[in-house]
Amino acid sequence: MNFQSRRVQTMNYNVSAHSWKRTHYTMEITPDLDGKEVTLTGWIKEIRDLGGIKFLLLRDKDGIVQITVPRDEVDRQIIEQVDKLQRQDCVSIRGTVRRMDKAPRGVEVTPKSIIILNTAKQPLPLDITGKTPADIDVRLDARILDLIRDEAQAIFRIRHVTLEAIREFFSKNGFIEIHTPKIIATATEGGANLFPVAYFEREAFLAQSPQLYKEQLVIDFEKVYEIGPTFRAEKSHTRRHLTEFISVDIEEAFATAEDVMSVAEQLLQHVCRTVNEKCRRELDILKYRVETPSIPFKRLTYDEVINELRENGIKISWGEDIPTVAYRTLGKLHPYFYFIIDWPTSLKPFYIKPRDGKPEISEGFDLMWHWIEIASGGTRVHNKDLLIKRLKEQNLNPESFKYHLQVFDYGMPPHAGWAIGLERLVMMLTGIRNIREVVLFPRDRFRLTP
């Protein structure tokens, strides 16, 4: 090739430099597009250079397609561009689709023009192919790169499908989606510690639950649900605790605990079925299987639970809460979903209704999956005088609940509800053992960044 012709070719190359806008996503590249010219955008995930032929794996939001570069079949300018490419460089590639049995998915693209839209600094802080594993601490520090891994992609697709299924279920069943304030005025409910925030000249708090608001809203909408963040300033540092997590809450007017337990069962069955149907590929990646539960779920009374635990060597006297070791034992005895009902009233929050005629027993329940609590709820107190009595019994000041209590003068119906911890549900659906894995940017006792 003489100087003249090379120069002409360079000019042609420059003239033909394509717009970087994509024509197809990687997963749309199929063998039947053989011979067609396409433009793809994405990131280089892996490079395998065999000398005379080079394979690039181009990743976009849906998947991967192989870019094949046979040295003697493409322009020198392409080779020069390709030789510059590194893992995680951001590129636009225009090229020809080729049906090829030897390629992944039976198809590959041979480039005609490459635009490097941005480069990635090497070496990367972790292996985006996931072949060299990194500790969770390292991965969370470089979370954006970590989320490229197939496992992470699978987890968050399952999380997405879970949320979609939940919303679909609620819509079909007549619930309306609400959003209640996350900045609240007073630390009212007792129990979990709240995070204080500086709110202009006052102190405010991050909400630990939409509980009071959702109860009030049953007057206006009867059936409400909220999927939103909750904040808990607990010093727990375990693989099932976060300081910020997503709570899936419902509240329903003219309903009892048994009614909303039924809603929970149906919802979980629907979610498990949907994830099984829509996330086969993701479950394969995670090497996990979700069993679609049959309903109704087992209902164990608190009394039955403590008897069962006693038979297994764990002594709990009536009225005591169930410690973690005991839950682990219970999880072995009941390996899937089960409710624990008939809790002592003293162990439940003030808004849980004591049973009529037997007030030491409450109408509260917990929904367990193995040894982990994934939901809790119950029939609520809807009588104002009883609610005030319950507040006092729990050493809470009715005065600080004045805005909540006034609503009980406006025709508060009997109602019931529950809350599911979304992350714990996603752990269950993915088989992931550390809750931080199922949150994009987890917050725990010690982690506030990135």
Q: Which DSSP category does 380 fall into?
A: B
d(C-alpha 77, C-alpha 16), whole Å: 12
Q: Of these residues, 59, 87, 232, 404, which one is catalytic?
A: 232
d(C-alpha 64, C-alpha 312), whole Å: 51
- Whether 281 is catalytic: no
Min dist. Cβ of residue 44 to RNA (A):
9
Min dist. Cβ of residue 419 to RNA (A):
6
Please give the angle made by the CA atoms of 62, 68 and 72, to the nearest 5 degrees.
165
Q: Does 126 bind RNA (CB under 7 A)?
A: yes
Min dist. Cβ of residue 16 to RNA (A):
23
Q: What 3-state class would DSSP assign to 223?
A: strand
Where helices occur in 69-142 by DSSP H, the ranges are 76-84, 136-141
d(C-alpha 274, C-alpha 268), whole Å: 10
Q: What 3-state class would DSSP assign to 438?
A: helix
Q: Does 30 bind RNA (CB under 7 A)?
A: no
- Whether 244 is catalytic: no
Q: Does 413 bind RNA (CB under 7 A)?
A: no
Nearer CB in complex with RNA: 48/392:
48
Min dist. Cβ of residue 87 to RNA (A):
5
Q: Interface mask (CB under 7 A) for RNA, residues 53-82, using x and -? A: x-x----------x-x-xxxx---------
Cβ neighbours of 281 (radius 10 Å): 12
CA distances from 20 to 28, 50, 116, 253, 344 (A): 17, 28, 9, 55, 65
Q: Interface mask (CB under 7 A) for RNA, residues 431-450, using x and -? A: ---x-x---------xx---
Q: Does 26 bind RNA (CB under 7 A)?
A: no
- Whether 424 is catalytic: yes
What pairs with residue 248 in β-bridges? 227, 420
Cβ neighbours of 346 (radius 10 Å): 13
Q: Does 140 bind RNA (CB under 7 A)?
A: yes
Q: Which of 8, 52, 179, 431 binds RNA (CB under 7 A)?
A: 52
Region binding RNA by CB under 7 A among candidate stretches 9-17, 25-33, 46-54, 265-273: 46-54
Q: Does 211 bind RNA (CB under 7 A)?
A: yes
Min dist. Cβ of residue 198 to RNA (A):
21
